[in-house]
Amino acid sequence: MNQAIRIGILRELKVPTDNRTPLSPEQCAQLLRAYPQLEIVVAPSPLRCFDDQSYSNAGISLQSDLSNCDILLGVKEVPADALIPNKTYLFFSHTKKKQAYNQGLMQALIKKHIRMIDYECLTHEDEQRVIGFGLFAGIVGAHNSLKTYGQKFQAFDLPAAHQLGSYQALIETYHNTKLPPLKIVVTGSGKVAAGILEIMAHFDIDAVEPIDFLNNQYDYPVYTHLKGASLYAHKETGSFNRNEFHHHPEAYTCKFAPFTKVADILMNGIYWDHKIDRLFAPEAIQAADWHLSVIGDITCDAQGSVPINLGASTIADPVYGIDRASGQKVAPYMPGTSTIDVMAVDNLPNELAKDASQYFGAQLMKFILPSLIRQETNAIIERGTMCSDAKLSKAFEYLSDYAYS
């Protein structure tokens, strides 16, 4: 007989507060029907996208104290002092790159003997991520990038995604929106890029090959999609090998520079770390033939693949300008070519919190929760477990100086 297990859904405590949740009320109810040995409790929250009454109506208990739970599910980082010792936690810890601002959290996970399963680290054997909010980051990021261009040049008007409340409502606003002959570059090959491409499809924006994008003019909006061999080349051979790039990205150079001279908008969806060549050098924006006027840095690494990302913006204030001469922040939406507008919101899916949460929960239920509930071995979960029993897992021992010091 399967052992009883209790899952708790955390109240998000990070500031600014996130409205997303790992499981909707209906998804909780589905799990209870599927697993008689399971109990789910939810910490009350006035800000969660599904209100407390919705969970109660679905038969889910509400309780503030989750210390009697076996597994605790959240979305954003849990403050170190709020961690309950000797529990299994699942959330985005943002520690795998040794982020300095979360070192205290990583050390607390070790000291409190927590089994930390990081959503970002849950991968298939080919290292592709299993679950995440990337699709909705791409959807909202593409929308915001277009909205930014429309506002900067007073060319068209789009509402803010968070004002509409649902993806369907967002799509319906496109029916009466006519875009000018924009040239848009999309980068990346993962879920973020997939979300961007959904918006391209909803606007009926035509895809063109990179070489045609560089050399041709169009009287209708177009986009080109750069990834793999169209974005990177080996420094010596000029070729591209995906496996080698993943393991030795420092051996590759980025081929994005020519697109800065012809594109109107960049929608950036690439994964980046410090070994990967940036899309362009910071000083490139001073070039006389620079044309790019709006950058949606959707994956949002400060001074990362987009070196003029000078820090995350917010849903309430999503865009800042960059003066091309000085590289400094200025007011956004200034017409003309002397500034570049940067949209760098780091919690984009929160603008469509209900849709994003339901999408995320469906993946969690498909790939992760069945094994946790049945207490079965699961290779995906093993790969995503950063630490347990006060020790880093083998794959994360590179964090030793970060986690134990």
Q: Residues 121-166: pLDDT tens digits?
A: 999 998 889 999 999 999 999 999 999 999 999 999 999 999 998 9
Determine the average pLDDT of the residues in 243-269: 96
Closest CA to 3 of 403, 373, 365, 274: 373
Q: 311-367, pLDDT tens digit by residue?
A: 999 999 999 999 999 999 999 999 888 999 999 999 999 999 999 999 999 999 999
pLDDT-derived band at 41, boundaries 50, 70, 90: very high
Q: Which helix (H) or strand (E) holds 72?
A: strand 71-73
Report whether pLDDT(403) > 50.
yes
For residue 396, give the DSSP letter: G
Q: Which residues pair with 294 in a beta bridge?
A: 265, 341
Residue 298 three-state SS: coil
Predicted local distance difference test score (pLDDT) of residue 337 = 86
Domain 5-131+353-403 adopts which CATH fold?
Rossmann fold (3.40.50)
| Domain spans, the chain | 5-131+353-403, 134-351
Determine the average pLDDT of the residues in 263-269: 98
Taking the C-alpha atoms of residue 104 and residue 112, their distance in angstroms, rounded to an integer, is 12
Taking the C-alpha atoms of residue 307 and residue 324, their distance in angstroms, rounded to an integer, is 13
Could you please report the per-residue DSSP string of 213-267? Answer: HHH---SS-EEEEE-GGGTEEETTT----HHHHHH-GGGEEE--GGGGGT-SEEE
Could you tell me the CATH superfamily of domain 134-351? NAD(P)-binding Rossmann-like Domain (3.40.50.720)
Predicted local distance difference test score (pLDDT) of residue 2 = 67
Predicted local distance difference test score (pLDDT) of residue 98 = 93
Taking the C-alpha atoms of residue 16 and residue 335, their distance in angstroms, rounded to an integer, is 31
Q: What are phi and psi of 221, to 5 degrees?
A: -70, 140
Q: What is the dihedral of CA 22, 27, 29, 34, to 10 degrees?
A: -110
| 206 to 124, 220, 224: CA distances (angstroms) | 32, 8, 9
Q: What is the dihedral of CA 137, 143, 147, 150, to 10 degrees?
A: 140
Residue 283's CB: how many other CB atoms inside 10 A? 9
Q: 376-387, pLDDT tens digit by residue?
A: 999 999 999 999
Report whether pLDDT(1) > 70.
no
Say whether 134-351 and 5-131+353-403 share the same fold. Answer: yes
Report whether pLDDT(89) > 70.
yes
% pLDDT > 70, the chain: 100
| 10 to 21, 33, 48, 149: CA distances (angstroms) | 8, 21, 10, 38
